[in-house]
Amino acid sequence: MRKRLKTLKKNKKYLTDSDKRECISHISYYAVLKDEIEMLDRALEDLEDIAAHFYEDFENKSHNFREFYRKLKNYLQTDVLGDRELSEEFADILRRVLMRLEEVEYIDASASFECLKSTMSIYLLQETKPGRSANWIVRNFEQIDGDILRSGHEDPNIIYHFACLEDEDVGAVKKAEFPWPLNDDFFEVAQNPVDWKYQVYVKCCNEYKNFKRYALIYGLEFNRAKFKLSYVRRDGDKEREPYYLLKILGLKKEKYASTKKSRRLEDSSQIDISGSRNGNFDAYRHRP
């Protein structure tokens, strides 16, 4: 990247033709000011120096994990927290990272650089500050059966959101997974001779809709917190309906709107326009 920045500065310097300057000014990276390019180059140079400081001789030293995290801790304490003006929120994050580094400072391990990259997220994991987040997110239906058991011990203001409850997504109606004329039945009989592993996969895909129904009912049964149910009404040009069991239970739909809009036009008669020119319009232009 630094080589390309050098080429960019060189091209801008020796480009003297005004027409060409006008043309390339519409290219985003040629429209950047020289000072901004210099600032980015210095930042990349600093990043190179920091990386070299952390990773130099990584493969050759014993207990290289301990050495890496020792350098990281010193850098955060001295060069970041102690030497820069940081927002309180970011400083709080760094302090909690340092608390984690206290625990791994004496780790006695030596491994490859690839191993360090794959494990760094574990060693630097830090808990979110209380009140900032729920600390976890439920993704899809697979996590409902475990996470819902925590609902009785959570903050009473937490709302559990069960989303994407359309007939198609919950599997109450046949969903077109494949372009016509292909369908699920085609893949069940397509392979000859029949391979049992292939058939197991196809059956599992078809049965997943039943798991979604189970997870939804199980989650609502054992939920002890506030909850919200939602569905996506429109998918492109196709309009969808909420899960039919919810309709049978008599749940009423409420349209979601992030902002409220006034349904009546505001009176604008008090607006005055001064200095305007009167004239007529024909089909092509304004005539004073």
pLDDT tens by residue, 36-75: 999 999 999 998 988 888 887 776 776 677 778 888 888 8
Residues with pLDDT less than 70, the chain? 59, 62-63, 83, 104-106, 122-140, 171-178, 192-193, 257-265, 268-288
pLDDT, mean over the chain: 76
Question: Rounded distance, CA 243 to CA 229, Å?
Answer: 10
pTM for the structure as a whole: 0.40
Torsion of CA 279, 282, 287, 288, to 10 degrees: -10
| 48: Cβ contacts below 8 Å, ≥ 6 apart | 2
* Closest listed residue to residue 95, CA positions, set 87, 26, 24, 227: 87
Tell me if 5 sits within 8 A of 41, measured CB to CB: yes
The whole-number pLDDT of residue 135 equals 42
Pairing assessment for the beta strands 238-239 and 226-229 based on DSSP bridges: unpaired
The whole-number pLDDT of residue 40 equals 93
Question: Rounded distance, CA 185 to CA 189, Å?
Answer: 7
Phi, psi of 226 (to 5 degrees): -65, 150
Distance of CA 260 to the CA centre of its chain: 27
Tell me if 162 sits within 8 A of 220, measured CB to CB: yes
Q: What angle do CA 144, 150, 153 make, to 5 degrees?
A: 155
Question: Rounded distance, CA 288 to CA 279, Å?
Answer: 4
The whole-number pLDDT of residue 131 equals 47
The whole-number pLDDT of residue 62 equals 66
The whole-number pLDDT of residue 139 equals 52
Question: Rounded distance, CA 19 to CA 28, Å?
Answer: 17
Question: Rounded distance, CA 109 to CA 58, Å?
Answer: 12
> What residues pair up with 160 in beta bridges, in sequence order?
227
Tell me if 66 sits within 8 A of 105, measured CB to CB: yes
The whole-number pLDDT of residue 74 equals 83
Over pLDDT 70: what percentage of the chain?
Answer: 75
The whole-number pLDDT of residue 160 equals 83
Tell me if 206 sits within 8 A of 184, measured CB to CB: yes
* Closest listed residue to residue 115, CA positions, set 49, 54, 58, 57: 58
Question: Rounded distance, CA 95 to CA 213, Å?
Answer: 44
